[in-house]
Chain A
Amino acid sequence: MSEMIKVGIADINLVTPPNTIRTTGLGSCVGVILYDEVRKIAGMAHVMLPQSTLVKSASTNSGKFADTAIKALYDLLLKKGATAKRLKAKIAGGAQMFQFSSASEMMRIGPRNIESVKYHLNQLGIPLIASDVGGNSGRTIEFNPATYHLTIKTVNKGTKII
């Protein structure tokens, strides 16, 4: 029996086959998947905000920010036997759920999340294999660590696999 492992908002979790891992209702948040094809282990983070250093007070939840979430996920995977050099990434999310005529910096949270996630993956030398980002639709994503397929469901644009 395979199980589906859930990742909540601002949460991080790991998965090995035959289980899959899933997060629901990504809007401006970005789902980041790191996986090791040889060791057959993967992890997912549901990132809400681009940078922990921009915040006004210390938060204990590392899963919330792109910089701390990617580092935490990376460390967790290495601890479980993944090899840093083999890690690959897929990402999805970062939508602009609402269109405003006066697009202030704050309202551009989705695009800023995407930029930050890409930057921090690059810093750790993790290649980004596939992504489905931007737009203005919410996404539910599910990753299968056996096939490395990321299934992306949207309300208005159907389902796709990257």
Chain B
Amino acid sequence: MDLTKINHLHLDILREIGNIGAGHAATALSTMLNKAVDMKVPSVNVISFEEIMEMVGGSENIVASVFLRIVGDAPGCMFFMLPIEQAETLLGDLLGGEAVQLTEGIHSEMTISALQEVGNILSGSYLTSFSDFTGLNLQPSVPATSIDMAGAILSFGLFEISAVSDLAIVIDTAFTDIRRLDEVKGHFFLMPDPESFAKIFNALGVPMDE
């Protein structure tokens, strides 16, 4: 993949995918929690692997994450990531006010399956709107969860892109609890595989120059 062939129009398209996708996901999250969730304007960055780690507060930062592979016309990886305390709050709300502990390594089956279900619903709504917008056939794999260091988790999403490039294109949408707008609660990361970019741009009528 030649990153120099990606122009501003292409980046705008990716930003719009992040916007629509995360918009739908935020609505789903808001419905699930029965409270307002606000998302920030998505950012599309062509950045080094090290910079990706900095986006989530350093590679050692502990996060709760849901990962899934996108299969179909434009394969890629998707992550839903939350700081650990905020994941505990979210899951606690979801499980009816139960106190949830994620850091101790003794996660109840219930908590993990709740986290997985959150990931499932959010990524499903993200992916559906991504698919509707582009007309591409996209399906999610069964989501997998991990509570661990952000670097260890995110690097897993880089294995496709890292084979061909030292930079990755990351579509990031941060979202917040509407009452505390300054505080970022979580991230959606969409990382299409290298070959998927041309397919996405073609589908929207803005091919990459040969």
Chain A interfacial positions (CB closer than 8 Å to B)? 8-11, 24-29, 48-49, 54-57, 59-61, 64, 95, 97-102, 106, 109, 136-140, 155-157
Contact = CB atoms under 8 A, between A and B. Distances in A.
Contacts of B162: 10, 48-49, 64
Given A59-B165, A60-B166, A64-B162, A27 B60 contact: no
Contact of A29 (B67, B145, B155): B155
Nearest to B67: A98
The A contact surface, by secondary structure, is loop
Contacts of A100: 141-142, 144
Contacts of B142: 100-101
Contacts of A8: 49-50
Contacts, number: 108
Contact of B146 (A26, A54, A97, A139): A97
Interface in B134-152: 141-142, 144-152
Interface size of B as a range: 20 to 34
B149 A24 contact: yes
A53 B67 CA distance: 28
A27 B149 contact: yes
B59 A137 contact: no
